[in-house]
Amino acid sequence: MFGIAGYLLTRHGAMSAGAGAAAALLLGVAWAGVVTRIAIATARLKPEHDPDDPRFRLQGHVALVTTAIPTGGEGTIALHEGSSSRTFRARTIDESGVPEGQEVCIERVDDQVAYVEPWAAVEARL
């Protein structure tokens, strides 16, 4: 800001070099204060949920339904990570049913129950 203001104030001789530098210095200090306040306000924003919350560690992972999830009930899913495989009890986030063999996206894992959404619905939003 100091450089821009100094250039604009002195380029056509509207101000002397000293007066232009003084005015540019004041504008530069004021701009630094504004930018600092914006940076502090941005740093204070809280995410919707704690990123280190263990319930959300698997959020976004795609899994396969191994036992159908009935409407309002529980089924099971298998999550393959590298060479290992894990299974979870699963419910849908909207209480709908999901047939066996369909891919789902994990929203969270709460008390060893994965809350999932069909991958096709997630893919449609992307």
One pLDDT digit (tens) per residue for the chain, 126 residues? 888 888 888 887 778 888 888 999 999 999 999 999 999 988 887 766 666 777 888 889 999 999 999 999 999 999 988 888 999 999 999 999 999 999 999 999 999 999 999 999 999 988
Query: Does residue 24 form part of some domain?
Result: yes
* 48 belongs to a structural domain: no
What's the pTM? Answer: 0.59
Measured between alpha carbons, how far apart are the two ends of the chain, in Å?
39
pLDDT value of residue 66: 96
Residue 122 burial (C-beta neighbours within 10 Å; 0-12, 13-18, 19+): middle
Query: 95 and 38 share a domain?
Result: no
**Domain span at residue 25?**
2-43
Does residue 74 fall inside a structural domain? yes
Helix, coil or strand: residue 56: helix
